């Protein structure tokens, strides 16, 4: 499966297309499934096919049975870890993974390792606009709290584990 291309499709709660791009299958471990993207990977947003191209190598982790995904970025990216709070990623088949973005992001800076939660105001707005059910809100808030703690403490795979996967990206 090493050379398999996987389409990553992120939607909003109303099923509208949010981000979409392709990545290469790297493998699977106890933390989940890992995909990689070299410099120049093209990201689309909504109906647009080309919004930007990456300036750094990236890997994404799609954990087993969790309400988040993690993006790890090489330099020159300002953030080394960017975690999206999402519904549990679903693998529709080997070539596509999809999830619903729930707005909240937990990030860690490369320099200094500061951890912060982004888009809390968007989560509050969309919670009302889309009518997030109470269980979705509870999962999103629990994932945000867990990610904040794990990123601050370097809990694996946020310590050094992701670096081995990042080293596999050309």
- Write the CB contacts of 41 (distance below 8 Å, at least 6 apart in sequence): 21, 22, 23, 53, 54, 58
3-state secondary structure of 141: helix
Annotated domain spans of the chain: 5-166
Rounded to an integer, what distance in angstroms lies between the CA atom of residue 63 and that of residue 150?
14
- pLDDT for 1 equals 45
* Count of alpha carbons within 13 angstroms of residue 2, beta-carbon side: 4
3-state secondary structure of 45: strand
CA distance from start to end of the chain: 17
**Below-70 pLDDT ranges, the chain:** 1-2
Rounded to an integer, what distance in angstroms lies between the CA atom of residue 24 and that of residue 60?
10
User: Do the beta carbons of residue 70 and residue 89 sit within 8 Å?
Assistant: no
- pLDDT for 88 equals 95
As given in the structure block, the two tokens for residue 68 are 């988040």
As given in the structure block, the two tokens for residue 66 are 């969790």
- pLDDT for 2 equals 58
As given in the structure block, the two tokens for residue 81 are 């870890």
Rounded to an integer, what distance in angstroms lies between the CA atom of residue 106 and that of residue 84?
7
- pLDDT for 48 equals 82
Q: What is the DSSP string of 50-103?
A: EEEE-SS-EEEEEETT-SEEEEEE-TT-SEEEEEEEESPPEEEETTEEEEEEEE
As given in the structure block, the two tokens for residue 63 are 């954990």
Rounded to an integer, what distance in angstroms lies between the CA atom of residue 170 and that of residue 157?
21
Q: Which fold has domain 5-166?
A: FomD barrel-like fold (2.40.380)
């Amino acid at each position: 499966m090493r050379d398999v291309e996987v389409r990553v499709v992120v939607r909003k709660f109303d099923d509208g297309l949010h981000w979409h791009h392709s990545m290469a299958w790297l493998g699977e471990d106890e933390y989940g499934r890992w995909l990689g993207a070299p410099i120049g990977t093209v990201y689309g947003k909504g109906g647009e096919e080309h919004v930007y191209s990456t300036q750094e190598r990236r890997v994404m982790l799609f954990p087993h049975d969790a309400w988040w995904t993690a993006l790890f970025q090489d330099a020159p990216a300002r953030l080394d870890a960017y975690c999206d709070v999402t519904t549990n990623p679903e693998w529709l088949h080997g070539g596509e993974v999809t999830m619903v973005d729930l707005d909240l992001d937990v990030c860690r800076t490369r320099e200094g390792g500061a951890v912060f939660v982004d888009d809390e105001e968007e989560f509050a707005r969309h919670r009302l606009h889309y009518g997030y059910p109470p269980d979705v809100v509870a999962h999103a808030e629990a994932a945000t709290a867990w990610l904040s703690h794990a990123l601050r403490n370097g809990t694996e795979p946020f310590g050094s584990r992701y670096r081995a996967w990042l080293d596999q990206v050309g």
